[in-house]
């Protein structure tokens, strides 16, 4: 989360991150920790809901669903249209615009072409973006065992 905010805004802020790592202290493995990031839906309701076309599919950048910040009017329709809870799109109160993962396309503080800051910094290798064609799998298809070898390397318990 901190890598995301730093790459995009030049400062560490959990509130500015487009990826969220949710920790349920009352949950149990493997669902006590969840990576909540845009899943780049095949049928993106956020794109359909956007009245200005600001939310669009960027065919020049891996078909990522992106927000043109100049065209965004801050109506939040894309946020309400996102089928995930919490929404993978957030509202930036300071700029009055919707913000979401852009696969590090617009990162003034991250100059590594074709690589995502969250993937590069994740100590357990839990975040992966694939070039394989997307498959319509549900949320269960995204559960990643965060307590794998990387977790053990950090000296943390596996159970």
On the question of pLDDT at 103 being above 60, the answer is: yes
Cα–Cα dist 159/140, whole Å: 20
CA dihedral 152, 154, 155, 159 (to 10 degrees): -40
- The answer to whether residue 80 scores a pLDDT higher than 80 is yes
Name the DSSP letter for residue 132: S
pTM equals 0.74
The share of the chain scoring above pLDDT 90, in percent, equals 45
Q: Quick check: helix, strand or coil at residue 140? A: helix
Task: Give residue 146's pLDDT.
Answer: 60
Domain count, the chain: 1
The per-residue pLDDT for 150 is 67
156 within a domain of the structure (yes/no)? no
Asked whether residue 150 is domain-assigned, the answer is no
More confident site: 157 or 123: 123
In a domain, 154, yes or no: no
List the Cα angle 107/46/73 in 5-degree steps: 70
51 vs 105: which has the higher pLDDT: 51
Per-residue pLDDT for 42 more than 70?
yes
Cβ atoms of 67 and 99 within 8 Å: the answer is: yes
Q: What mean pLDDT, rounded, does the chain reach?
A: 84
146 falls within a domain? no
CATH number where 134 lies:
3.30.70.20
74 within some domain: yes
Q: Is the pLDDT of residue 3 over 80?
A: yes
């Amino acid at each position: 989360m901190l890598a995301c905010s730093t790459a995009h805004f030049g400062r560490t802020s959990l509130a500015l991150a487009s990826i969220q790592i949710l920790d349920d202290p009352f949950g149990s493995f493997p669902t006590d920790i969840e990576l909540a990031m845009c899943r780049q839906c095949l049928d993106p309701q956020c794109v359909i809901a956007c009245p200005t076309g600001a939310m669009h599919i960027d065919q020049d950048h891996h078909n990522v669903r992106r927000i043109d910040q100049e065209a965004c009017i801050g109506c939040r329709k894309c946020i309400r249209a996102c089928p995930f809870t919490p929404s993978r799109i957030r509202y930036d109160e300071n700029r009055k615009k919707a913000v979401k993962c852009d696969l590090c396309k617009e990162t003034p503080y991250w100059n590594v072409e074709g690589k995502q800051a969250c993937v590069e910094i994740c100590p357990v290798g839990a975040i992966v973006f694939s070039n394989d064609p997307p498959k319509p799998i549900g949320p269960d298809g995204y559960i990643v065992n965060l307590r794998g070898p990387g977790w053990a390397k950090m000296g943390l318990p596996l159970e």
